Structure 1
Amino acid sequence: MRVLVVGGGGREHALCWKLAQSPLLTALWCAPGNAGIAEVARCVPIGATDIPALVAFAVEQRIDLVVAGPEAPLTIGLADACAAAGLRCFGPSAAAAQLEGSKSFMKQVADAAGAPTAAWARFSDSALARAYVRTTGAPIVVKADGLAAGKGVVVASSVEEAEAAIAEIMDDRIHGAAGAEVIIEECMTGPEISFFALCDGVTAVPFGAAQDHKRVGDGDTGPNTGGMGAYGPPPIFTAAMQAEVMARCITPVLADMAARGAPFRGVLFAGLMLTPTGPRLLEFNVRFGDPECQVLMLRLESDLLPLLVAACETRLHEVPVVWRDESAVVVVMAAEGYPGTPRRGTVIRGLEAADAIPRAKVFHAGTALRADGAVIAEGGRVLGLAATGTDLRHARDTAYAAVAAVDWPEGFCRGDIAARAVMPPTAATGE
């Protein structure tokens, strides 16, 4: 099969790396790709949101499957354009992608499906939003309604902090048009889990869980990011919890979307809070998480390609999902300045040494090749140093050994990815 992966981050590197192992694959392209992806796929200089150019390229190259990595091309109609051109695309239609593209739509669907989620209100007027916060009190959650690259959520511990977030999102428009409206939610408490299900419009099958680390600093301090590391499977997410999430969140939402005339095909990513009363839904995303995808691909025993095709053809019930009996950890290295303005153009060395460590894998995200062949930083989150192990401790130690092998003074990472999962609470948190 001839496959085109759309995107150029760590998630897409993981997808390309796994797809390249399929005996069904005959050719693999990635648009636009990055320096690491270029080792396993042919990179094409087409932007991930240039839908006409992507479809034209796919038609010209007789692509059998388009795999959408990020959410942006899906929300503007990549899958629809592919369908119109007679192409298979793993990913939802623009209508179904509104589960991520509009947080208010997601909340409406969750309520209609009876999925347990936080109480919420929507505002298009910042003064009314601030008045609501003053009435409700804190802690409280403020979210930009549209896409904000994982950075449009503020968990405010005080009314003043919530009002400041509303001003930045709605008045200053720090996330652009995504801040035209905000969602204000009750603040749920508990560990967060990323849970994934493959969907074909009718059937949903579990596709693993991971625990992400969103804050930029150790001990979950500092602003939210796109994700500074992840691990899986999370010991706290039990088989019983997975069954509950499938029954209460995934299956009824799949049915509700079909009833709306927007059947969901692709991967449905449920952000969950494990509250004292059980798992509750924080949000839906319509693509694999980044860096959670790296963890999933390292642990997946099954051939990924027939699974993705089955999702496109309403045949998921025919293809089993098999996992390796091991753990995986990924530590993100980011460029100085992230999650603000990252420093670009700095040279990264030691990648071969990191990749040579047994059971380690370097996933590229914001990298590029300079004319002289040097790998340089060209984004915020630049690398994912990942590893598998017989248990989380082994995987974590190996991932951090890979971090130590990288020579990049201008990069940084968190030092506590998966720490709570492998250490007693007092040792991991200092409490």
Structure 2
Amino acid sequence: MKLIEPVTTIPDRDAVARWREDFPILSERVHGKPLVYLDNGATTQKPATVIEAERRYYEHTNSNVHRGVHLLSQRATETYEAARARIARFINAARPEEIVYVRGTTEAINLVAQSDVRPRVAPGDEILISAMEHHSNIVPWQIVCEQTGARLVVVPIDDRGVLDIAAYERMIGERTRIVALTHVSNALGTINPVARLIEIAHARGVPVLLDGAQAIAHLPVDVRALDCDFYAFSGHKVYGPTGIGVLYAKADRLEAMPPWQGGGDMIRSVTFERTTYNAIPWKFEAGTPNIAGAIALAAALDYVDAIGVDVIGAHEAALLAYATDAMRALPRVRLIGTADHKAGIVSFVHEDVHAHDVGTILDHHGVAARAGHHCAMPVMQRFGVPATVRASFALYNKREDIDALVAAMTEVEEVFGR
């Protein structure tokens, strides 16, 4: 299996400066200081082309899709479905019908849990996840287990935040009905060897869902090369708007799945006696969708492709190396998540200061970083900390942003130092 290999060319400072000009919010000031935005793991900022795409839709195209014969409805439908095809190309899906619009990664995983997995599991069956999962890839499976009597099985991680692959192989058994894993850990930055993990699961006839929320903007994703059965991601993590996301699923799996929600647009015909469902993917898209969000997401993917995910990844890898060295040099700071293969995420704790206090001081210096459990409380428990501070990078970040983070951390020492 040949996957896309990232290039090693790192963009120069002028290129990054040009990219930064595309993001209006980066000119904001916070507490009188220039904004240093290092909370990209929570949500990325939006380039002007994405903002303009959404504005243009509402000014010139606003209408419901699939339901009208008038020009605006036809125009909206064409643009909305063109966005679906654009998303399919971005992840190399076999056809646009394998792309289901959802609100985000969370809804995508819940859809698979309730529509694909719940109908085919029984008491004693197993659902396999890892110890580094986001709550969105834990709680939906716990709900299914409560509903069916199935059992949640958790693959451990080591002290660096690396998945125990030997344990993973042992833990896939005859009763395993699905494997659900994160592509990239949101709390640790670990990049899982998902191609290998999928191959192991498929050799035993087990389907695999990948939570791609933290991968989609940073790594090339080719769902056919990976051969995953499901891939979920959120638009707002890849420079698109909030409230729009994607579930990719192989067409045969979608055909076999019953709808999760009922209502308008997911039907072909309705009588009081019987309803005939629509074809895929529309049978999973009940109600008026986030039309503007889908169109703007397509614009975001155009933007990313124009730069190149491989170029973005190389830039972020350089930032990660620089930030890792800088944070390791700080007194009483400990990194949480030190895998060899990481995306642009640095999580850390201060020995004497709670993460929330650190985050507050950073904010007063204009540095926006995340402080908390990152919707990954089991990860915090695994490392014996209540919370971490997380700095996460995007294409518009520069070394000076990391320097600002380090400078702000010196005040943490001054305020709370021994």
TM-score, with length taken from structure 1: 0.28
Q: By percentage of residues, which structure has more helix? A: 2
Q: By percentage of residues, which structure has more strand? A: 1
Higher normalized contact order (CA 8 Å, seq sep 6+, divided by chain length): 2
